[in-house]
Amino acid sequence: MFNGFLDLSVWGYIATALILTHITIASVTIFLHRHQAHRAVELHPVVSHFFRFWLWMTTSMVTKEWVAVHRKHHAKCETEKDPHSPQVMGIDKVLWQGAELYRAESNKQDTLDAYGHNTPDDWLERNLYSGRTNKLGIALMLLINLALFGPVGLTIWAVQMLWIPFWAAGVINGIGHYWGYRDFEVSDASTNIVPFGIIIGGEELHNNHHAFGSSAKFSVKWWEFDIGWMYISILSMLGLAKVKKLAPRPVIDHSKPAIDKDTVMALVTNRFQVMSNYAREVMKQVYKEEVRKVSDSVLRRQLKRARKFLTRNEALIDDTAKLRLQFVLSQNKALDTAYEYKQRLLDIWASTTASQEQLLRDIQEWCRQAEATGIKSLQEFARSLKSYSLAPQMVPA
């Protein structure tokens, strides 16, 4: 029996399958996601076309379809029009049938027309990578695998075909909106599955991506790792990629005497980081102090059960949880005050039609009243806001 041109050990075949599937993951996260869907990075034509060719052979996905479905997901996130929300459809549906949900949405012409703009439309795209010829790629991949690895090539090919439907369509779209930790309290249910974005190319840091959709880099905290960003950085150093945008990073200037218009714009730009700091420096501290004071075991238990809802976006809290939260807040004045000021700060960010002058007045008044509450952590947080400053967005050359 012909065993292929490459005679590898068992571990050699496993390593080969992992390398091939990882190239596909890199193609999805760098080309389809960060380059095409969000325009966060520009790619050299040679690199761009390699990714297109590789995706044609390993997934048969059409760039315009993938981009359109993903952009609609961001635009309609966690609503009935979201193509794959586990909050709406259930985790089992999205985790195990994510690929079917993607195909169903990609067949809707109105989705392609509304969200599929500015994607490749050259001769190769029209005559090879899409339409009736787009399945030729995966057939070619099968033949190549059989030639290189013999019968084992069929198994490697099957793993390649299942890799994206499971990890991307299932895990990222499912678990990435259902379970994990959150660096930022965005209005959708996105989560970071793990802080080490390796297996799925950095897509594991899904909450960070939803907070800063147009950023080429998904890791935010110092302990998070985004391997997709590592590849982009290497391509950038080689002159094969150009980063267009990164998530804003707060600039702190302790010499600023007071809040001014520069402060206002810096706070609005960095509002996700500001609210993350509020959750850690105010809500968490007040909660810890109040739990220590409570002697009633029933109220202490209620406090602990309501803890995660103190910082959660209200749109993501069900009615039962809201009632539990309201009861806890009604029993604890300091916690109620800290929560009230959190909501008032969120209302300021939501004032999209307000002028800079109005935002300046609103933030100044918020700080003045916060400092008058007598809650130490809230007072310190209010005083710290004046230190925020704008800085030019810096990206690699």
pTM: 0.92
**Of 222, 262, 272, nearest in space to 388 by CA:** 262
Going from the C-alpha of 45 to that of each of 30, 52, 242, 355, the distances in angstroms are 13, 10, 12, 42
Q: Is the pLDDT of residue 373 over 90?
A: yes
pLDDT at 352: 74
pLDDT at 393 over 70: no
Residue 219 is given by DSSP the state -
Mean pLDDT across the stretch 131-151?
Answer: 95
What φ, ψ does residue 258 adopt, rounded to 5°? -160, 170
**Locate tokens 């200037």: which residue?**
253
The share of the chain scoring above pLDDT 70, in percent, equals 98
pLDDT at 392: 55
The candidate with the shortest Cα–Cα distance to 275, out of 193, 206, 182, is 182
Q: Which two tokens stand for residue 297?
A: 């075991």
Region 250-275: mean pLDDT is 93
pLDDT beyond 60 at 397: no
- Burial of residue 59 (CB within 10 Å: 0-12, 13-18, 19+) is buried
- Comparing CA positions, the residue from 282, 244, 246, 250 lying closest to residue 265 is 250
Backbone φ, ψ for residue 261 (5° rounding): -65, -35
* Confidence class for position 1, pLDDT limits 50, 70, 90: low
Predicted pLDDT at 353: 83
Pairing state between β 241-243 and 225-226:
unpaired
The mean pLDDT value for 367-371 works out to 97
- The sign one gets for the Cα dihedral 192, 193, 195, 199 is negative
**The pLDDT of residue 391:** 66
- Dump pLDDT digits (tens) for 173-193: 999 999 999 999 999 999 999
Cβ atoms within 10 Å of 73's Cβ, excluding its own: 23
Q: For residues 393 and 248, is the Cβ–Cβ distance under 8 A?
A: yes
Alpha carbon distance 181, 271 (integer Å): 19
DSSP string computed for 219-262: --STT-EEHHHHHHHHHHHTTSEEE-------EE-TT--S--HH
Q: What is the pLDDT of residues 326-363, one digit of tens each?
A: 999 999 999 999 999 999 999 999 987 889 999 999 99
Mean pLDDT of 156-180: 96
Q: Report residue 165 CA to chain centroid gap.
A: 18
Band (pLDDT 50/70/90 cuts) for residue 117 is very high
Pick the more confident residue, 1 or 94.
94
- 294-322 per-position pLDDT tens digit: 888 888 898 999 999 999 998 899 999 99
What does the mean pLDDT of the chain come to?
Answer: 94
Amino acid at position 393, single letter: Q
Amino acid 68 reads A
pLDDT in tens, 32-68: 999 999 999 999 999 999 999 999 999 999 999 999 9
* Residue range 220-252, pLDDT digits in tens: 999 999 999 999 999 999 999 999 999 999 999
Place of tokens 């390649």: 160
